[in-house]
């Protein structure tokens, strides 16, 4: 598949001319510079097990860790800031409404986002990213490598190439280290998903800040939830679960929610959606496990702050 080859080629190009040493038989470490900032990338055999350590903030800020589930109507967008000023955007919603949410969370002069994760190329997740890339410089953009044929997805990936953001194929085993004890782990895909239906190819990631875990599942369906449970068992526990597929009954299965056992479930959806999101059975599942459900339709932007031990709703 063309785009996948292009990504791998790009990474190989990046490594050429970089400082390079061998960690062991399968591990290679690279040091590269991007925009005058030192970026250390360690890769463990092909793309699996890769980690990216993002250091040297351009502007050191001392905010608390926060995550905002931005009210983008029927779609997903979540924005994370770290105490030392790293910024991560997971999906961009269906339109430019994501920009309003970002403007509320970012200093007016800031035109840079460290990492964008496009969980899958459906327009309710990536169309707004076109506006984001037009307004902000982005260092890294992750996508699952699933086939896409929408004009929005084509425009997005053309912009990624134009802006020289580093385009990374997301694979299980990669993690991003943002400092301050904060890391983002890619849990899925763990394979080539180019031929999968787009929801099933969704990037599933979790953000870990000391004791606090936030699980972000894109539109991953029940089959992927089952697969993750088979891999992780009770290790799926999280404090916040971004409910898969906007609260549809294709996600948030009973067994999965029971193991994740979140304190909060976030349903990101438009009030006027015609899909019946959230589904009654999903709300019943959350009620059964005493999970507090927060819905962007009724709450607007939903923000939590954390010190790594506890979560506070803002
Ligand atoms: Zn969606």
Distance from the CA of 220 to the center of ligand 1, in angstroms? 9
Task: Give the length of the chain.
Answer: 314
Euclidean distance between the first and final Cα of the chain, in Å? 44
Q: Is the pLDDT of residue 285 over 70?
A: yes
Domains contained in the chain, CATH given = 58-313 (3.60.15.10)
Could you tell me the pTM of the whole model? 0.83
| Res 61: pLDDT | 46
Distance from the CA of 60 to the center of ligand 1, in angstroms? 34
User: Which has more pLDDT, 31 or 86?
Assistant: 86
Distance from the CA of 308 to the center of ligand 1, in angstroms? 29
Distance from the CA of 218 to the center of ligand 1, in angstroms? 7
> Which of these ranges, 25-39, 111-125, 269-283, has the smallest mean pLDDT?
25-39
Cis amide leading into 45 (omega within 30): no
Residue 3: which residues within 8 A CB-CB, separation 6 or more?
A: 145, 157
| Res 127: pLDDT | 96
| Res 215: pLDDT | 98
Q: Give the confidence band of 313 by pLDDT, cuts at 50, 70, 90.
A: very high
79, 110, 111, 135 from 103: Cα distances, Å: 11, 9, 10, 11
CA distance 236 to 215: 8
Cis amide leading into 139 (omega within 30): no
Q: Is the pLDDT of residue 39 over 80?
A: no
Residues with CB under 5 A from ligand 1 (ion): 124, 219
| Res 294: pLDDT | 98
Distance from the CA of 121 to the center of ligand 1, in angstroms? 9
| Res 56: pLDDT | 42
What integer is the mean pLDDT of 126-149?
Answer: 93
Q: Is the pLDDT of residue 159 over 50?
A: yes
| Res 30: pLDDT | 30
What integer is the mean pLDDT of 59-72?
Answer: 80
For strand 182-188 and strand 204-209, is the pairing parallel, antiparallel, or unpaired? antiparallel
> Which of these ranges, 48-52, 71-75, 191-195, 244-248, has the smallest mean pLDDT?
48-52
User: Which has more pLDDT, 26 or 150?
Assistant: 150
Q: Is the pLDDT of residue 7 over 80?
A: no
Q: Is the pLDDT of residue 17 over 90?
A: no
| Res 160: pLDDT | 86
User: Which has more pLDDT, 21 or 244?
Assistant: 244
> Which of these ranges, 28-32, 268-272, 285-289, has the smallest mean pLDDT?
28-32
Distance from the CA of 179 to the center of ligand 1, in angstroms? 30
Distance from the CA of 125 to the center of ligand 1, in angstroms? 6
Q: Is the pLDDT of residue 35 over 60?
A: no
Helix-, strand-, coil-residue percentages of the chain, each rounded to 5: 30, 30, 40
Q: Give the confidence band of 260 by pLDDT, cuts at 50, 70, 90.
A: very high
User: Which has more pLDDT, 231 or 56?
Assistant: 231
User: Which has more pLDDT, 109 or 60?
Assistant: 109
Distance from the CA of 278 to the center of ligand 1, in angstroms? 12
User: Which has more pLDDT, 148 or 29?
Assistant: 148
Backbone φ, ψ for residue 65 (5° rounding):
-65, 135
Q: Is the pLDDT of residue 100 over 70?
A: yes
State the chain's mean pLDDT as an integer.
84
């Amino acid at each position: 598949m063309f785009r996948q080859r292009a990504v791998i080629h790009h990474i190989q190009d990046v490594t050429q001319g970089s400082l390079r040493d061998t960690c062991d038989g399968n591990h290679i470490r690279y040091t590269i510079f991007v925009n005058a900032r030192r970026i250390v990338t360690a890769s463990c055999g092909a793309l699996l097990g890769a980690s990216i350590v993002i250091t040297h903030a351009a502007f050191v800020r001392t905010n608390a860790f926060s995550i905002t589930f931005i009210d983008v109507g029927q779609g997903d967008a979540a924005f994370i800031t770290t105490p030392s000023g790293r910024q991560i955007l997971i999906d961009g919603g269906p339109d430019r409404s994501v920009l309003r949410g970002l403007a509320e969370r970012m200093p007016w002069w800031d035109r840079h986002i460290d990492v964008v994760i496009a969980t899958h190329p459906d327009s309710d997740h990536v169309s707004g990213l076109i506006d984001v890339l037009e307004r902000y410089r982005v260092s890294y953009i992750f996508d699952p490598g699933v086939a896409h044929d929408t004009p929005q997805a084509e425009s997005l990936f053309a912009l990624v190439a134009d802006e020289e953001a580093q385009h990374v194929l997301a694979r299980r085993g990669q993690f991003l280290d943002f400092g301050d004890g904060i890391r983002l782990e890619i849990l899925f895909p763990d394979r080539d998903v180019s031929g999968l239906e787009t929801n099933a190819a969704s990037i599933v990631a979790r953000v870990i800040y000391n004791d606090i875990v936030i699980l972000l599942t894109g539109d991953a369906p029940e089959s992927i939830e089952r697969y993750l449970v088979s891999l992780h068992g009770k290790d799926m526990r999280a404090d916040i679960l971004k409910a898969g597929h906007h609260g549809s009954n294709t996600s948030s299965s009973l067994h999965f929610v029971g193991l994740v056992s979140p304190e909060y479930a976030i349903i990101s959806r438009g009030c006027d959606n015609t899909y019946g999101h959230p589904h009654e059975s999903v709300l019943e599942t959350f009620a059964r496990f005493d999970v507090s459900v927060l819905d962007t339709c009724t709450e607007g932007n939903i923000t939590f702050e954390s010190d790594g031990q506890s979560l506070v709703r803002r």
